[in-house]
Amino acid sequence: MTKHIAVMVQEAIEGLQPQPGGRYLDGTLGGGTHTRALLQACAPDGKVLSLDVDRSALARTRELLAPYGARWMCAEENFRHLDRAAEANGLAPLDGILLDLGLSSDELDDPTKGLSFRIDGPLDMRLGPHANDDGLTAADIVNTWTVQDIERVLSVFGEEPFARRIAHGIVDARKSARIIGTLDLVSVITRSVPHIPSHIHPATKAFQALRIAVNDELETLKIAIEAASRVLKPGGRLAIITFHSLEDRIVKRAFAAEPWNAITKKPLAPSEQEVMENPRSRSAKLRVAERM
Ligand SMILES: C[S@@+](CC[C@H](N)C(=O)[O-])C[C@H]1O[C@@H](n2cnc3c(N)ncnc32)[C@H](O)[C@@H]1O
Protein backbone atom coordinates (compact mmCIF):
# COMPACT_ATOMS: atom_id res chain seq x y z
CA MET A 1 0.00 0.00 0.00
CA THR A 2 1.22 3.47 -0.84
CA LYS A 3 1.03 6.55 1.38
CA HIS A 4 1.66 8.80 -1.58
CA ILE A 5 -1.17 11.14 -2.61
CA ALA A 6 -0.85 11.79 -6.35
CA VAL A 7 -1.32 15.40 -7.50
CA MET A 8 -3.42 16.89 -10.33
CA VAL A 9 -4.65 13.47 -11.50
CA GLN A 10 -7.76 14.76 -13.28
CA GLU A 11 -5.89 17.63 -14.92
CA ALA A 12 -3.12 15.31 -16.17
CA ILE A 13 -5.66 12.92 -17.70
CA GLU A 14 -7.54 15.79 -19.35
CA GLY A 15 -4.23 17.03 -20.75
CA LEU A 16 -3.24 13.66 -22.18
CA GLN A 17 -6.73 12.81 -23.51
CA PRO A 18 -6.22 9.03 -23.43
CA GLN A 19 -8.24 7.07 -26.01
CA PRO A 20 -9.32 3.42 -26.19
CA GLY A 21 -6.60 1.42 -27.92
CA GLY A 22 -3.96 4.09 -27.20
CA ARG A 23 -0.43 3.39 -25.95
CA TYR A 24 0.82 5.37 -22.99
CA LEU A 25 3.89 5.59 -20.80
CA ASP A 26 3.95 6.76 -17.19
CA GLY A 27 7.62 7.48 -16.48
CA THR A 28 7.07 7.90 -12.73
CA LEU A 29 4.94 5.05 -11.40
CA GLY A 30 5.31 5.96 -7.67
CA GLY A 31 2.16 4.83 -5.85
CA GLY A 32 0.39 4.02 -9.14
CA THR A 33 -2.52 6.48 -8.97
CA HIS A 34 -1.73 8.23 -12.26
CA THR A 35 -1.08 4.90 -13.99
CA ARG A 36 -4.44 3.56 -12.79
CA ALA A 37 -6.23 6.72 -13.98
CA LEU A 38 -4.54 6.31 -17.39
CA LEU A 39 -5.57 2.64 -17.58
CA GLN A 40 -9.17 3.55 -16.77
CA ALA A 41 -9.22 6.37 -19.30
CA CYS A 42 -7.91 4.23 -22.19
CA ALA A 43 -10.20 1.25 -21.47
CA PRO A 44 -11.12 -1.25 -22.76
CA ASP A 45 -7.95 -1.99 -24.76
CA GLY A 46 -5.41 0.82 -24.28
CA LYS A 47 -2.03 -0.09 -22.80
CA VAL A 48 0.18 1.59 -20.24
CA LEU A 49 3.86 1.01 -19.52
CA SER A 50 5.01 2.36 -16.15
CA LEU A 51 8.63 3.01 -15.21
CA ASP A 52 10.31 3.74 -11.92
CA VAL A 53 13.91 3.72 -10.78
CA ASP A 54 12.73 2.61 -7.37
CA ARG A 55 12.19 -1.14 -7.30
CA SER A 56 9.91 -0.86 -4.28
CA ALA A 57 7.44 1.27 -6.30
CA LEU A 58 7.01 -1.68 -8.70
CA ALA A 59 6.44 -4.10 -5.83
CA ARG A 60 4.06 -1.75 -4.04
CA THR A 61 1.75 -1.20 -7.02
CA ARG A 62 1.60 -4.76 -8.37
CA GLU A 63 -1.60 -5.58 -6.48
CA LEU A 64 -3.30 -2.25 -7.23
CA LEU A 65 -2.71 -2.65 -10.97
CA ALA A 66 -3.12 -6.43 -11.28
CA PRO A 67 -6.81 -6.09 -12.34
CA TYR A 68 -5.66 -4.50 -15.61
CA GLY A 69 -3.89 -7.70 -16.68
CA ALA A 70 -1.79 -7.48 -19.86
CA ARG A 71 -2.93 -3.88 -20.46
CA TRP A 72 -0.39 -2.84 -17.80
CA MET A 73 3.35 -3.36 -18.06
CA CYS A 74 6.10 -2.10 -15.80
CA ALA A 75 9.87 -1.87 -15.77
CA GLU A 76 12.57 -0.80 -13.35
CA GLU A 77 14.06 1.84 -15.61
CA ASN A 78 15.18 5.44 -15.54
CA PHE A 79 12.79 7.62 -17.56
CA ARG A 80 15.79 9.14 -19.34
CA HIS A 81 15.59 5.89 -21.37
CA LEU A 82 11.83 6.02 -21.92
CA ASP A 83 12.15 5.65 -25.70
CA ARG A 84 14.22 2.49 -25.27
CA ALA A 85 11.73 1.12 -22.69
CA ALA A 86 8.73 1.78 -24.97
CA GLU A 87 10.48 0.00 -27.85
CA ALA A 88 11.59 -2.95 -25.70
CA ASN A 89 7.98 -3.45 -24.57
CA GLY A 90 6.55 -3.20 -28.10
CA LEU A 91 4.63 0.01 -27.35
CA ALA A 92 6.40 2.51 -29.63
CA PRO A 93 5.24 4.87 -31.08
CA LEU A 94 3.32 6.25 -28.12
CA ASP A 95 0.16 8.37 -27.88
CA GLY A 96 1.02 9.96 -24.55
CA ILE A 97 3.64 10.24 -21.83
CA LEU A 98 3.32 11.44 -18.26
CA LEU A 99 6.13 12.51 -15.93
CA ASP A 100 5.26 13.44 -12.33
CA LEU A 101 8.66 14.52 -11.08
CA GLY A 102 10.44 14.25 -7.76
CA LEU A 103 9.99 11.68 -5.08
CA SER A 104 7.04 9.91 -3.46
CA SER A 105 6.03 10.12 0.20
CA ASP A 106 6.92 6.42 0.45
CA GLU A 107 10.50 7.22 -0.57
CA LEU A 108 10.73 10.20 1.75
CA ASP A 109 9.74 7.99 4.67
CA ASP A 110 12.11 5.16 3.72
CA PRO A 111 15.08 5.49 6.11
CA THR A 112 17.36 3.43 3.84
CA LYS A 113 17.23 6.11 1.13
CA GLY A 114 18.38 8.96 3.37
CA LEU A 115 16.07 11.53 1.75
CA SER A 116 14.48 13.00 4.86
CA PHE A 117 16.08 15.43 7.27
CA ARG A 118 13.68 14.17 9.93
CA ILE A 119 14.62 10.47 9.84
CA ASP A 120 18.08 9.07 10.53
CA GLY A 121 19.51 7.10 7.64
CA PRO A 122 22.60 6.74 5.46
CA LEU A 123 23.42 9.80 3.33
CA ASP A 124 22.64 8.02 0.07
CA MET A 125 19.68 9.87 -1.60
CA ARG A 126 19.63 7.76 -4.77
CA LEU A 127 16.01 6.93 -5.60
CA GLY A 128 17.19 3.58 -6.92
CA PRO A 129 20.28 1.78 -8.22
CA HIS A 130 19.80 3.24 -11.74
CA ALA A 131 19.10 6.77 -10.53
CA ASN A 132 22.51 7.86 -11.83
CA ASP A 133 25.25 6.39 -13.97
CA ASP A 134 28.20 6.75 -11.59
CA GLY A 135 26.82 5.50 -8.25
CA LEU A 136 27.26 8.98 -6.71
CA THR A 137 25.72 9.39 -3.23
CA ALA A 138 25.11 12.42 -1.01
CA ALA A 139 27.86 11.09 1.30
CA ASP A 140 30.31 11.27 -1.63
CA ILE A 141 29.39 14.91 -2.26
CA VAL A 142 29.69 16.09 1.33
CA ASN A 143 32.81 14.08 2.15
CA THR A 144 34.89 14.45 -1.03
CA TRP A 145 33.81 17.49 -3.07
CA THR A 146 35.57 20.84 -2.73
CA VAL A 147 34.00 23.60 -0.72
CA GLN A 148 33.34 25.52 -3.96
CA ASP A 149 31.57 22.59 -5.60
CA ILE A 150 29.42 21.96 -2.52
CA GLU A 151 28.51 25.64 -2.38
CA ARG A 152 27.57 25.59 -6.08
CA VAL A 153 25.26 22.58 -5.63
CA LEU A 154 23.53 24.15 -2.62
CA SER A 155 23.16 27.47 -4.30
CA VAL A 156 22.14 26.35 -7.82
CA PHE A 157 19.93 23.34 -7.00
CA GLY A 158 18.64 24.50 -3.61
CA GLU A 159 18.64 28.30 -4.04
CA GLU A 160 20.04 28.16 -0.49
CA PRO A 161 20.94 31.68 0.71
CA PHE A 162 23.48 30.31 3.22
CA ALA A 163 25.16 28.00 0.69
CA ARG A 164 28.66 29.34 1.43
CA ARG A 165 28.32 29.04 5.20
CA ILE A 166 26.89 25.52 4.95
CA ALA A 167 29.61 24.42 2.52
CA HIS A 168 32.31 25.69 4.90
CA GLY A 169 30.51 24.07 7.86
CA ILE A 170 30.51 20.73 6.01
CA VAL A 171 34.20 20.92 5.07
CA ASP A 172 35.15 21.87 8.67
CA ALA A 173 33.04 19.08 10.16
CA ARG A 174 34.46 16.38 7.91
CA LYS A 175 38.01 17.16 9.08
CA SER A 176 37.23 15.43 12.39
CA ALA A 177 34.92 12.66 11.09
CA ARG A 178 33.21 11.52 7.92
CA ILE A 179 29.61 12.74 7.70
CA ILE A 180 27.71 9.50 7.32
CA GLY A 181 24.12 9.95 8.46
CA THR A 182 21.28 12.31 7.51
CA LEU A 183 21.01 13.61 11.07
CA ASP A 184 24.79 14.22 11.21
CA LEU A 185 24.38 16.46 8.18
CA VAL A 186 21.32 18.16 9.69
CA SER A 187 23.31 19.10 12.78
CA VAL A 188 26.18 20.48 10.65
CA ILE A 189 23.69 22.58 8.65
CA THR A 190 21.85 23.80 11.75
CA ARG A 191 25.16 24.86 13.34
CA SER A 192 26.27 26.67 10.16
CA VAL A 193 23.27 28.95 9.56
CA PRO A 194 21.98 31.84 11.66
CA HIS A 195 18.99 30.93 13.80
CA ILE A 196 16.01 32.56 12.09
CA PRO A 197 12.55 31.56 13.32
CA SER A 198 10.81 30.03 10.30
CA HIS A 199 8.30 27.32 9.53
CA ILE A 200 10.81 25.88 7.04
CA HIS A 201 13.43 23.52 8.49
CA PRO A 202 16.97 24.93 7.94
CA ALA A 203 18.02 21.72 6.10
CA THR A 204 15.14 21.77 3.57
CA LYS A 205 16.95 23.48 0.71
CA ALA A 206 20.27 21.68 1.21
CA PHE A 207 18.53 18.29 1.17
CA GLN A 208 16.63 19.22 -2.00
CA ALA A 209 19.87 20.38 -3.62
CA LEU A 210 21.79 17.21 -2.77
CA ARG A 211 18.91 15.00 -4.00
CA ILE A 212 18.77 16.88 -7.32
CA ALA A 213 22.55 16.52 -7.75
CA VAL A 214 22.71 12.84 -6.77
CA ASN A 215 19.86 11.83 -9.07
CA ASP A 216 21.06 14.18 -11.84
CA GLU A 217 17.45 15.34 -12.00
CA LEU A 218 17.71 18.37 -14.27
CA GLU A 219 19.87 16.71 -16.93
CA THR A 220 17.64 13.62 -16.80
CA LEU A 221 14.57 15.78 -17.41
CA LYS A 222 16.15 17.36 -20.51
CA ILE A 223 17.17 13.96 -21.85
CA ALA A 224 13.67 12.55 -21.20
CA ILE A 225 11.97 15.40 -23.10
CA GLU A 226 14.22 14.67 -26.09
CA ALA A 227 13.53 10.94 -25.81
CA ALA A 228 9.78 11.72 -25.70
CA SER A 229 10.03 13.69 -28.94
CA ARG A 230 11.52 10.62 -30.65
CA VAL A 231 8.98 8.10 -29.41
CA LEU A 232 5.68 10.02 -29.52
CA LYS A 233 3.45 9.87 -32.61
CA PRO A 234 2.78 13.21 -34.31
CA GLY A 235 -0.14 14.58 -32.26
CA GLY A 236 0.97 12.53 -29.22
CA ARG A 237 1.12 14.39 -25.93
CA LEU A 238 3.64 14.88 -23.14
CA ALA A 239 2.40 16.02 -19.70
CA ILE A 240 4.90 17.00 -17.03
CA ILE A 241 4.19 17.86 -13.39
CA THR A 242 7.04 19.82 -11.76
CA PHE A 243 7.58 20.88 -8.15
CA HIS A 244 10.12 23.68 -8.33
CA SER A 245 11.11 26.52 -10.62
CA LEU A 246 14.32 24.88 -11.92
CA GLU A 247 12.30 22.00 -13.38
CA ASP A 248 9.47 24.19 -14.63
CA ARG A 249 11.93 26.45 -16.46
CA ILE A 250 13.37 23.48 -18.34
CA VAL A 251 9.91 22.26 -19.38
CA LYS A 252 8.73 25.74 -20.36
CA ARG A 253 11.81 26.31 -22.55
CA ALA A 254 11.60 22.89 -24.18
CA PHE A 255 7.88 23.27 -24.97
CA ALA A 256 8.50 26.66 -26.61
CA ALA A 257 10.66 25.03 -29.31
CA GLU A 258 10.24 22.44 -32.05
CA PRO A 259 8.88 19.78 -32.22
CA TRP A 260 6.49 20.85 -29.44
CA ASN A 261 3.23 22.76 -29.56
CA ALA A 262 2.42 23.91 -26.02
CA ILE A 263 -1.20 23.11 -25.12
CA THR A 264 -0.93 24.89 -21.77
CA LYS A 265 0.37 28.39 -22.49
CA LYS A 266 0.64 28.93 -18.73
CA PRO A 267 1.21 26.04 -16.34
CA LEU A 268 -1.86 24.63 -14.61
CA ALA A 269 -1.89 24.66 -10.81
CA PRO A 270 -3.85 22.43 -8.42
CA SER A 271 -7.27 23.64 -7.23
CA GLU A 272 -7.60 25.32 -3.82
CA GLN A 273 -9.46 22.26 -2.65
CA GLU A 274 -6.58 19.96 -3.65
CA VAL A 275 -4.02 22.18 -1.89
CA MET A 276 -6.18 22.13 1.24
CA GLU A 277 -6.47 18.33 1.16
CA ASN A 278 -2.83 17.71 0.15
CA PRO A 279 -0.50 20.60 1.09
CA ARG A 280 2.40 18.90 -0.80
CA SER A 281 0.52 19.74 -4.03
CA ARG A 282 0.87 23.51 -3.51
CA SER A 283 4.05 23.80 -5.56
CA ALA A 284 2.88 21.52 -8.41
CA LYS A 285 2.69 22.87 -11.96
CA LEU A 286 1.44 20.94 -14.96
CA ARG A 287 2.45 21.66 -18.54
CA VAL A 288 1.22 19.72 -21.56
CA ALA A 289 2.56 19.80 -25.12
CA GLU A 290 1.73 18.03 -28.35
CA ARG A 291 4.41 16.61 -30.59
CA MET A 292 3.99 18.29 -33.98
C1 LIG B 1 6.05 12.05 -7.37
S2 LIG B 1 6.32 10.34 -7.48
C3 LIG B 1 5.15 9.81 -8.68
C4 LIG B 1 3.81 9.53 -8.10
C5 LIG B 1 2.85 8.86 -9.08
N6 LIG B 1 2.53 9.71 -10.20
C7 LIG B 1 1.58 8.39 -8.41
O8 LIG B 1 0.53 8.44 -9.05
O9 LIG B 1 1.65 7.94 -7.25
C10 LIG B 1 7.79 10.24 -8.42
C11 LIG B 1 8.27 8.83 -8.71
O12 LIG B 1 9.14 8.90 -9.82
C13 LIG B 1 10.28 8.11 -9.57
N14 LIG B 1 11.38 8.70 -10.32
C15 LIG B 1 12.05 9.83 -10.06
N16 LIG B 1 13.00 10.05 -10.98
C17 LIG B 1 12.91 9.02 -11.86
C18 LIG B 1 13.61 8.69 -13.05
N19 LIG B 1 14.58 9.45 -13.52
N20 LIG B 1 13.23 7.57 -13.72
C21 LIG B 1 12.22 6.79 -13.26
N22 LIG B 1 11.54 7.05 -12.12
C23 LIG B 1 11.88 8.16 -11.43
C24 LIG B 1 10.46 8.13 -8.08
O25 LIG B 1 11.18 6.99 -7.67
C26 LIG B 1 9.01 8.17 -7.58
O27 LIG B 1 8.53 6.88 -7.35
Residue 187, number of CB atoms within 10 A of its CB: 14
Decide whether any atom of ligand 1 lies within 6 Å of the 98 Cβ.
no
Does the pLDDT at position 223 exceed 90? yes
Per-residue model confidence (pLDDT) at position 286? 98
Domains and CATH numbers, the chain: 9-106+217-291 (3.40.50.150), 133-214 (1.10.150.170)
> What tens digit of pLDDT does each residue of 168-207 get?
999 999 999 999 999 999 999 999 999 988 888 999 999 9
Residues 2-48 pLDDT 10s: 999 999 999 999 999 999 999 999 999 999 999 999 999 999 999 99
Mean pLDDT for the chain?
97
Query: What is the tens place of the pLDDT at every residue in 62-75?
Result: 999 999 999 999 99
Between 253 and 1, where is the model more confident?
253
- In this structure, what DSSP letter does residue 8 have? S
Half-sphere exposure of 270 (CA within 13 A, CB side): 21
Instruction: Report pTM.
Output: 0.97
Q: Is the CB of 7 under 6 A from ligand 1?
A: no
Question: What is the pLDDT at residue 198?
Answer: 86
51 lines ligand 1 (CB under 6 A): yes
**Would you say residue 1 has pLDDT above 90?**
no
pLDDT at 196: 85
pLDDT in tens, 94-147: 999 999 999 999 999 999 999 999 999 999 999 999 999 999 999 999 999 999
Task: Give the pLDDT confidence score for residue 199 in this predicted structure.
Answer: 84
Sheet holding 232-242, edge to edge: 72-76, 47-52, 23-26, 94-100, 232-242, 285-291, 260-262
> Which residue spans within the chain are E strands per DSSP?
23-26, 47-52, 72-76, 94-100, 232-242, 260-262, 285-291
Q: What is the pLDDT of residues 266-285, one digit of tens each?
A: 999 999 999 999 999 999 99
> Which of 13, 62, 104 has the most ligand 1 atoms within 8 A of CB, as the residue to mutate?
104
Ligand 1 centroid from CA 26, angstroms: 9
**DSSP-assigned letter for residue 281:** G
**247 CB under 6 A from ligand 1?**
no
* DSSP for 53-83, written as a single string: S-HHHHHHHHHHHGGGGGGEEEEE--GGGHH
Neighbouring C-beta atoms of residue 284, cutoff 10 Å: 24
How far is ligand 1, taken at its centre, from the CA of residue 169, in Å? 32
